[in-house]
Amino acid sequence: NAGVTQTPKFRILKIGQSMTLQCTQDMNHNYMYWYRQDPGMGLKLIYYSVGAGITDKGEVPNGYNVSRSTTEDFPLRLELAAPSQTSVYFCASTRNRQNYGYTFGSGTRLTVV
């Protein structure tokens, strides 16, 4: 199993550009999450999904959008990138929070200049 796969690993964007961070899991997990990690800070939740077709905002959703058309994929869209979105982004998934842990992707390091 590949687990949780994130692409790209690195990206530099110019202010105002848009991009999509891809996240795919092959474990048939229902729950998926997007976090961002800023220097010296813990991870903060951007959006999450409890299943295909269902998404909800986390702590820091402004400037981002998500969709969940399939169980496997949970892309994160950045519209009109701003320097404040410079961060490391992690995608995570879990089958059942009561009995399983969370599996994290390897992260995407995004710089907005």
Partner 1 sequence: AQKVTQAQTEISVVEKEDVTLDCVYETRDTTYYLFWYKQPPSGELVFLIRRNSFDEQNEISGRYSWNFQKSTSSFNFTITASQVVDSAVYFCALSEGGGADGLTFGKGTHLIIQP
| Interacting residues of 86 by C-beta distance below 8 A, sequence separation 6+ | 110, 111, 112
**Which stretch, 14-22, 27-35, 60-68, 77-85, contacts partner 1 (CB under 8 A)?**
27-35
List the beta bridge partners of residue 110.
Answer: 11, 87
Q: Of 17-25, 61-69, 75-83, 104-112, which segment contacts partner 1 by CB under 8 A?
A: 104-112
Amino acid at 50: V
Q: Site residues for partner 1, window 31-90 (CB under 8 A)?
A: 31, 33, 35, 40-45, 48, 50, 56, 58, 88, 90
Find out whether 16 and 80 touch, Cβ atoms under 8 Å: yes
Q: Does 95 bind partner 1 (CB under 8 A)?
A: no
Q: Do residues 56 and 86 lie in contact, with contact meaning Cβ atoms separated by under 8 Å?
A: no
- For residue 98, what are its two tokens? 């009561």
Of residues 14 and 40, the one with the C-beta less far from partner 1:
40
Binding residues for partner 1, per CB under 8 A? 31, 33, 35, 40-45, 48, 50, 56, 58, 88, 90, 92, 97-98, 101-104, 106-107, 109
